[in-house]
A and B are shown apart, each in its own frame.
Chain A
């Protein structure tokens, strides 16, 4: 029992160090290089790197979408539901709307409540042009505003590592086993941090540099 606080302390120190390092050297191919700005469901502005330091699922959508977008949110919940509790606690989910005009913070917040997403780990946000187009281009999402005001867009779920590099993506809303496996491994504790494995005391995992 006594070891818990000290391990926590160590983890916090490691987190602090790793986030400092991440700020100093973001990988050159990181999506976070975009520096794109978002407006979140609480009405505050945030960077696209909101969840830097965590493996993150990111997807683009628009809130008034009748069918496909609710399915997309449900699909992301399904993918994370297959993780064990600790892995899920490490994961973050960022939903970015390209319909900034209609997806106001109030609308986004309503959507989050509707889908009962975990507010500690999920954020609904919107991006105005040209930020939305930049994020889409970076992830490989296509979208186009139709004369009706609706959007035609591709459904894509992307997994980012803790520093914003694309690890995997899927267009399958259910049952992409390869994607699920990448999500599983990305949310293991050894990702990007140095930890001692509790299963084999004393055996440090290799230090990951770079």
Chain B
């Protein structure tokens, strides 16, 4: 048993050595940024420079994590930290199997699990403003949100019918920062997912007339994301909800 464990660690080490940076943390320059969130009642928020992983964490990457951290394996995680469907698409606790291929984004992970994964990488989940800033970029512009063509492209991604199987990561093109899949692949957990709506917001009203209080109604894709994240509980394990990690620009948070 011990030998097998050592072998596994050795294999992981080799895999790591072969592709040391296959989900690198890429710099996103800080900016004064107008967010779609209504909360601060200001024109712009200040987002500091940070680093964000180039694509959503994959099944292969998450397998390495649960291999090293048995308490995060399916079946070992208490209900207080993840719903019953946690990693439900995997064949076994240490085998993603045919329904969850190596390069697909990992989904059916709770916010607690995503947070634990990032901590194990000496990283954290991005805050909403960070994610929103990074997701505002097209291939050529930092902030393409005023570009009707880009906006339509984003909306088209969202309205595309969801296939039975998720595509692999990095199938599209990278944005200005070199980030892949900010739109069109999975929803992504953010650190403050449960604080995006005003504390007294009625989620139903939010989706209807309440949405009129949001600052920039034209950003439908982003509003959908805010509404979706705001409706989640931290233990939810959605089949389309993945994540990627962030770091402070100065180094380990």
A residues within 8 Å of B by Cβ?
A: 26, 28-34, 130, 133-134, 136-138, 140-144, 146-147, 152-155
Contacts and interface: CB of A to CB of B under 8 A. Distances in A.
Contacts of B197: 142
Contacts of B199: 142, 152-155
A130 B124 contact: yes
A147 B46 CA distance: 9
Contacts of B115: 130, 133-134
Interface residues of B, number: 24
Contacts of A33: 78, 80-81
Contact of B195 (A28, A130, A138, A143): A143
Nearest to A166: B80
Contacts of A146: 39-40
Given A134-B115, A152-B39, A140 B78 contact: no
Given A147-B42, A147-B46, A138 B191 contact: no
B215 interface: no
B192 A144 contact: yes
Given A30-B80, A146-B39, A147-B40, 20 more contacts: A26-B78, A29-B79, A32-B80, A33-B80, A33-B81, A34-B81, A130-B115, A130-B119, A134-B112, A137-B233, A138-B234, A142-B195, A142-B197, A142-B199, A144-B192, A147-B45, A152-B198, A152-B199, A154-B200, A155-B199
B233 to A, nearest CB: 7
Nearest to B119: A130
Interface of B: 39-40, 42, 45-46, 78-81, 111-112, 115, 119, 124, 191-192, 194-195, 197-200, 233-234
Contacts of B191: 130, 133
A147 B119 CA distance: 26
10 contacts: A33-B78, A34-B81, A130-B115, A142-B194, A142-B199, A144-B192, A146-B39, A146-B40, A147-B40, A152-B199
Contacts of A141: 194
A144 B195 contact: yes
A138 B198 CA distance: 18
Contacts of A30: 78, 80
A17 B124 CA distance: 39
Contacts of A29: 78-80
A153 B194 CA distance: 10
Contacts of B234: 134, 137-138
A134 B78 CA distance: 14
Contacts of B233: 137, 140
B90 to A, nearest CB: 20
A172 B115 CA distance: 31
B91 to A, nearest CB: 23
A128 to B, nearest CB: 12
B131 to A, nearest CB: 14
Nearest to B41: A146
Contacts of A133: 115, 191-192
